Amino acid sequence: MDADSFPIDMVSWDSAISLSRSLADIIRASGLAPDLVIAIGRGGYVPARVVCDRLLISDLTSIKIEHWGVAAREFDRAVVRFHLSVDVEGKTILVIDDVTDTGETLITATEYLARHRPGELRTGVLQHKTCSAFQPDYYAERIAEWKWIIYPWALHEDMIGFLEKVLGDQPVSPEGLARFLGERFKMYPDMGEVILALDDMVSLGSQPEGRSVFRGRKQAVAGMTFFCPSLDRTGHVGYESTRTKNG
């Protein structure tokens, strides 16, 4: 196994909702009265909906900007993939996302939205990393030391991405992978999440030939090493190593 090590923070649903409500309260205290909330897809969907609920704002829409892939994979540049579908000219708009990291997502969003001539444009995030090139108008929490943040609405796909980082060319059990995630990233996922992610990795064909993965109940890919689940007579899950044959 080989992967770069960096800190990870796994945000629970309760914490995410609490941060969203705190963000809404900060916005309320500022006196801002948005005509429209725009969520940045996909990370801003849940926070934006909670903010709308807290502030009793009925008009919510979204745009999608792609900058980060799964598990801290950065694309070359942020781009608007799904565009604005409503007229915002002269309106007070509030843009909501989950986090500022490099800042490229919100830089791209505000430049794009400014071309639609809103009357006022404000931004808010749950967590603002001080390393970001973009300073949001509102944030619920300030992050001084960089870490990769996993939100509950992105847990499964981020899990797949991090498992791809740590898988090597030696057979390993799901428990071994979970242990390695803890040692390398201080990431302690539920074993059920690990097994589901590994199962989907095989289904999606995301593992190249010769890499060690957990097979689950999916059809094996030629040349890959798997640990297959089996139940012993006591009902406990065990694992046996198998290797598929080419052809």
Q: Is 155 inside a domain boundary?
A: no
pLDDT value for 238: 35
Give me the pLDDT at residue 173, please. Answer: 80
Cβ neighbours around 205 below 10 Å, total: 8
Domain-located, residue 193: yes
CA distance linking residue 203 with residue 144, whole number of Å: 39
| Residue 112 counted as domain residue | yes
76 shares its domain with 185: no
* Same domain as 129, residue 52: yes
**Would residue 125 count as lying in a domain?**
yes
Q: Of 123-137, 175-189, 197-211, 229-243, which gets the smallest average pLDDT?
A: 229-243
Sequence-ordered list of residues with C-beta below 8 angstroms from that of 178, at least 6 positions apart, any chain: 188, 189, 191, 194
Per-residue pLDDT for 93 more than 90?
Answer: yes
Per-residue pLDDT reduced to its tens digit, 194-226: 888 888 888 776 554 444 444 333 333 333 343
Q: For 69-81, what is the mean pLDDT?
A: 62
Determine, yes or no, domain membership for 121. Answer: yes
When divided into structural domains, the chain yields a total of 2
The contacts of residue 129 (CB under 8 Å, 6+ apart) are 99, 100, 101, 143, 146
pTM: 0.77
CATH of the domain at 130: 3.40.50.2020
Same domain, yes or no, for 15 and 44?
yes
Owning domain of residue 117: 8-150
Residues 19 and 107 in one domain: yes
Report the pLDDT value the prediction gives residue 68, as an integer from 0 to 100.
Answer: 52
Q: What is the pLDDT of residue 174?
A: 82
* 224 domain residue, yes or no: yes
* Same domain assignment for residues 29 and 61: yes
Q: If DSSP codes are grouped into helix, strand and coil, which group holds residue 99? A: strand
pLDDT(241) > 60: no
